[in-house]
Chains A and B, each alone.
Chain A
């Protein structure tokens, strides 16, 4: 497999459409949140689409994903069906976790999408274990583990980096560095602000990647996956990105300036990709409009699916706390 990204038109359009789907899905979530259809915590992925979409292009069906609590985009990019995803946001029985997980705990075994995780850094040790099982069971799979730069402060990060390298496990560490751990700017939270440099302490190959470019992320991921599949052990990507919206629905964003947000919005991965395609005559205005309608239709269907869903029976409140019985 070559690690050079082939930007054929069809592939580029799919990348753009995936990013657009994520952006519009999140916008719909905000609307539904305001209408109180979705409750609780909601962490939106706007601005960071290029990371998940770029990484997922380089993964196959056998590979595994461990996600964060800002994981709607990661789930969509991975191909988790939109209807069950939206139904999960609602807390409906038809949700991918029967409504028991919600926004922060999207899970889809068929897609090997092993959970959004609401504990910062909590997913890293799990990714090590998934990769260990895949290695021992000869599945030839790579586990892509997403986490934010805030997770780097956790002991679980360092322990997992060490063990992954020590045991030569097929793990791709994907740090989504959006420069703020909630409201704490990177330089106030980390002594070493070039996060990728931390990998060298574990003798792990690492790259800093432009996380606003799906092409850059995809090429880096292809290089990483190729190295991992060749048996060289784990690989680390620091994707520099930015979240356009607040940390969650309870954040007045007093820690950053409007100007800074606007500067990053000028690098919006969707806008840049669209302009690039248009300039290179690979996308017309009509084609983009058609793409928008397709995305809107998918989201409308997902919302209709969630709306039509049912509530879990209250009698099932305690169900699934434990396995119902011990299988033979």
Chain B
């Protein structure tokens, strides 16, 4: 165990899995740093340096720089996955899914079911998401609900360096296509990460705080904000459970329902656009299955339904914050008090 950044944790997971299994390959734009180009090999290592060092260790046959041709290389990864390789694709920004979505949702996601269980597609698409980087509308989206909507895909969203390494190793060993969401604001976040390889199972939520008044469900970077909010609220005498589901598909609804039954109040924090996102999905399922336990209406904390703005003042206003989460939690508490009064 030692302190590592989110970036190092992801890099280490890929290193260890590529070492363990020679069929694991990596492809994407600039993952090696200019295939065949003169100059320093591995100059770039991915747009944010996540894949640095891999080409030096595993060579150009297993670390493939691709042209800017997402449809071809994401589809190629899917094709190679049904014939024996275990590809990890780096799709630089999830926003680029627009130019290759067919290969994910019509092809990779459907093979196993449509071919009667006779094909498996062990594909991992690693991609960056999230606002706050001043990256504007086409490099900042949080599109995980879109993938969660597609049967046949799994979706993981790590909330810390520890989660990132364990979830990525699980993703690489998984025989289904997995979309792995890395928040671009978190690459320098540090945390304790074991040196050895380990897995974190999909579909098993993690409780980062345990309390009795309000359940807060959050994903990815929002888990950290939810923790900050919970810690601040504790000083006001409001005790919160924070649930990090880790994966949106499969979703550990059982744990969420158990926590709601214990606390009677729910706040869902989601960085994705507010319509048909994880917050609305979880709110609806809780309303259906745990209505009798709710002491207050469910509150959802999400951005407004607008593209991500560039202007720093607007982008800061766009994102959920710990303060917004605290306010939502207080509203659930006040609603309950009114009921009692």
Report yes or no: A137 in contact with B78, Cβ–Cβ below 8 A.
no
- A residues near B78, Cβ cutoff 8 Å: 125-126, 129
- B residues near A326, Cβ cutoff 8 Å: 170, 173-175
One of B107-115, B159-167, B276-284, B295-303 at the interface: B107-115
One of B79-87, B234-242, B252-260, B330-338 at the interface: B79-87
Report yes or no: A129 in contact with B116, Cβ–Cβ below 8 A.
no
Listed residue (A99, A129, A156) with the most chain B CB atoms within 10 angstroms of its CB: A129
- A residues near B21, Cβ cutoff 8 Å: none
The reply on A128 being an interface residue by CB < 8 A is: yes
The reply on A31 being an interface residue by CB < 8 A is: no
Report yes or no: B80 in contact with A130, Cβ–Cβ below 8 A.
yes
Per the 8 Å Cβ criterion, residues 58-72 of B in contact with A are 61-62, 64, 66-67, 69, 71-72
Query: Cα distance A327–B79 when bound, in Å?
Result: 20
Q: How far is the CB of B180 from chain A (nearest CB, A)?
A: 15
**Pairs A-B, 9 closest by C-beta atoms:** A125-B75, A129-B79, A98-B116, A159-B72, A129-B76, A126-B79, A97-B116, A133-B80, A320-B117
The reply on A119 being an interface residue by CB < 8 A is: yes
Query: Cα distance A129–B87 when bound, in Å?
Result: 10
Report yes or no: A122 in contact with B173, Cβ–Cβ below 8 A.
no
Mask, A136-168, CB within 8 Å of B = 1, is: 110000000000000000011001101100110
One of A7-15, A16-24, A41-49, A100-108 at the interface: A100-108
With A133-B83, A163-B73 as known contacts, state yes or no: A100 contacts B116, CB within 8 Å: yes
With A100-B115, A125-B79, A162-B69 as known contacts, state yes or no: A322 contacts B107, CB within 8 Å: no
With A129-B83, A130-B80, A133-B83 as known contacts, state yes or no: A163 contacts B67, CB within 8 Å: yes
With A105-B115, A322-B154, A323-B175 as known contacts, state yes or no: A129 contacts B106, CB within 8 Å: no
State the interface size on chain A (CB cutoff 8 A): 46
- B residues near A64, Cβ cutoff 8 Å: 83
Report yes or no: A130 in contact with B83, Cβ–Cβ below 8 A.
yes
Q: How far is the CB of B339 from chain A (nearest CB, A)?
A: 39
Report yes or no: B151 in contact with A321, Cβ–Cβ below 8 A.
yes
Listed residue (A95, A114, A136, A159) with the most chain B CB atoms within 10 angstroms of its CB: A159
Q: How far is the CB of B312 from chain A (nearest CB, A)?
A: 35
CB nearest neighbor in B for A128: B76
Report yes or no: B115 in contact with A159, Cβ–Cβ below 8 A.
no
The reply on B102 being an interface residue by CB < 8 A is: yes
Report yes or no: A125 in contact with B67, Cβ–Cβ below 8 A.
no
Query: Cα distance A134–B79 when bound, in Å?
Result: 10
Report yes or no: A327 in contact with B175, Cβ–Cβ below 8 A.
yes
Query: Cα distance A160–B76 when bound, in Å?
Result: 9
The reply on A96 being an interface residue by CB < 8 A is: yes
With A105-B115, A107-B115, A136-B85 as known contacts, state yes or no: A119 contacts B152, CB within 8 Å: no
Task: Using A98-B116, A124-B72, A321-B113 as known contacts, list a sample of 14 further A-B pairs with CB atoms less than 8 Å apart, ordered by residue number in A.
Answer: A107-B119, A114-B79, A115-B111, A115-B115, A122-B102, A122-B106, A129-B75, A131-B79, A133-B85, A156-B102, A163-B66, A163-B69, A320-B117, A323-B120
The reply on A109 being an interface residue by CB < 8 A is: yes
Per the 8 Å Cβ criterion, residues 204-226 of B in contact with A are none
Report yes or no: B111 in contact with A98, Cβ–Cβ below 8 A.
no
Q: How far is the CB of A190 from chain B (nearest CB, A)?
A: 20
Main secondary structure of the interface of B (DSSP, over half): mixed
Jot down 22 A-B pairs with beta carbons below 8 A, ordered by A.
A97-B118, A99-B116, A101-B115, A105-B115, A114-B82, A115-B114, A118-B106, A124-B75, A125-B107, A127-B79, A128-B76, A129-B75, A129-B80, A131-B79, A132-B80, A133-B79, A133-B83, A137-B85, A156-B103, A160-B72, A321-B113, A326-B175
Q: How far is the CB of B241 from chain A (nearest CB, A)?
A: 28
Report the tally of A-B residue pairs with Cβ distances under 8 A: 153
With A97-B114, A98-B117, A323-B176 as known contacts, state yes or no: A128 contacts B154, CB within 8 Å: no
CB nearest neighbor in A for B175: A323
Q: How far is the CB of B101 from chain A (nearest CB, A)?
A: 11
The reply on B74 being an interface residue by CB < 8 A is: yes
Query: Cα distance A118–B170 when bound, in Å?
Result: 31
The reply on A258 being an interface residue by CB < 8 A is: no
Query: Cα distance A133–B66 when bound, in Å?
Result: 15
Query: Cα distance A207–B49 when bound, in Å?
Result: 44
With A133-B85, A163-B67 as known contacts, state yes or no: A125 contacts B117, CB within 8 Å: no
The reply on B230 being an interface residue by CB < 8 A is: no
The reply on B77 being an interface residue by CB < 8 A is: yes
- B residues near A281, Cβ cutoff 8 Å: none
The reply on B272 being an interface residue by CB < 8 A is: no
Report yes or no: B61 in contact with A132, Cβ–Cβ below 8 A.
no
The reply on B25 being an interface residue by CB < 8 A is: yes
Mask, A53-66, CB within 8 Å of B = 1, is: 00000000000101
CB nearest neighbor in A for B115: A107
The reply on A319 being an interface residue by CB < 8 A is: yes
Query: Cα distance A319–B114 when bound, in Å?
Result: 11
Mask, B26-52, CB within 8 Å of A = 1, is: 000000000000000000000000000
Report yes or no: B115 in contact with A322, Cβ–Cβ below 8 A.
no
- B residues near A109, Cβ cutoff 8 Å: 118-119
Query: Cα distance A56–B25 when bound, in Å?
Result: 31
